[in-house]
Amino acid sequence: MTSVVSSPQRTIRIGSRKSQLALVQTYWVQEQLQKSFPEIKFEVHTMATQGDKILDVALAKIGDKGLFTKELELGMINQEIDFAVHSLKDLPTRLPEGLALAAITERENPADALVVHEKYKDKQIDTLPEGAIIGSSSLRRLAQLRHHFPHLEFKDVRGNLNTRLAKLDAGEYDALILAVAGLERLGMGDRVHQVLPKEISLHAVGQGALGIECRASDTDLISMLKAIEHPKTRDRCLAERAFLRDLEGGCQVPIGVNTEITGNTLTLSGIVASVDGQRFVKDSVSGACEDAEKLGTQLADLLRSQGAQPILEEIFQTVQRGS
Ligand SMILES: NCc1[nH]cc(CCC(=O)O)c1CC(=O)O
């Protein structure tokens, strides 16, 4: 590998999905790096991933591990691209051999948002009428919302943000639950009708942050990428990812988190819920930021001791049966 110092002309190829959100995120990373390293050329290469191609199957049924990342990872292994920009929440907690999570950038608001059809613009999540149809394909969102609001109906929704919003506006749904971060990055922050508080919905691991993945051997590139890392976001997300890594059973599971840093103390809260929202375990742990990953493991052990395992096994079996 040529060194950045001895070959200032190095061109660095950035891999990205083609979706509008992915491109906005990738161009943002490109711009930040260009400011720090004006002498280096950064090129964006787009690739379609499996998740961009399969649009008609509920994500929960196919499992979403690596669905949005695999093609980009192969591109890095095959030296076609040098690094990839991901929504961190789409990046599996275990990376392929030879690849590394080089940097995590500053997180947007990680919370979930309620987005409503015009006819419900004077309602909030707790005042929507019985039977209102809420679009979401995330088991995590479904489980937590069913728990709090059993009188609402839930319906799967797929496609990119614009497609989903068009379905909402056309009346196929009364409301959607979407990440605040995605809407804000696409300049559609005005569609956020209510930011769901953590008492109602704990967000996904890594939600709102970008993860930059590259070859573990490319140490020059890794030190460059550190220039755009946000240490607090990194500590929070490393704790969240360690928690998920220790709990997940190989499929999309209703696991939610929240993290806060006060001084040097990181507090990680987590929930494991059954899909029907009937059973859940929820707790939190606190410790030093340097021990972020240990905190994740500690919370995973704590929730397991409170009964998380049977909930996870039941979900894993249901998903494998495809029901
Ligand atoms: N599940 C898909 C996905 N992956 C990343 C985001 C955007 C928010 C983020 O960066 O976490 C979204 C949309 C959503 O969940 O509404």
**Residues 219, 236: one domain?**
no
SS3 category, 281: strand
What pTM does this model have?
0.91
ipTM given for this complex: 0.95
- For residues 39 and 165, state if they share a domain: no
CATH number at residue 153: 3.40.190.10
Distance CA 311, CA 87 (A): 27
The CATH number of the domain where 322 resides is what?
3.30.160.40
Please report the atom of ligand 1 found closest to the CA of residue 87: 10
126: annotated active-site residue = no
Closest to 83 in 3D by CA, of 201, 244, 220, 231: 220
CB atoms within 10 A of CB 55: 10
Of residues 73, 91, 85, 89, the one with CA closest to residue 215: 73
CA 182 to centroid of ligand 1, rounded, Å: 6
Whether residue 274 is found in the same domain as residue 224: no
Given this model, what pLDDT does residue 56 score?
A: 53
Q: What is the mean pLDDT of the chain?
A: 91
The answer to whether residue 200 sits within a structural domain is no
Q: How many domains does the chain have?
A: 3
Q: Determine the average pLDDT of the residues in 223-241.
A: 98
Give tens-digit pLDDT for 55-89.
555 544 444 567 778 899 999 999 999 999 999 99
Task: Tell me if 203 is assigned to some domain.
Answer: no
Is residue 208 within 6 Å of ligand 1 at its C-beta? Answer: yes
Identify whether 201 is part of a domain: no
User: Do both 71 and 1 map to the same domain?
Assistant: yes
> Are residues 147 and 60 located together in one domain of the fold?
no
Is 225 in the same domain as 162? no
| Residue 137 pLDDT class (50, 70, 90 cuts) | confident
Token readout for 206 is: 């890594």
| Three-class SS state of 133 | strand
Residue 297 lies in domain: 231-323
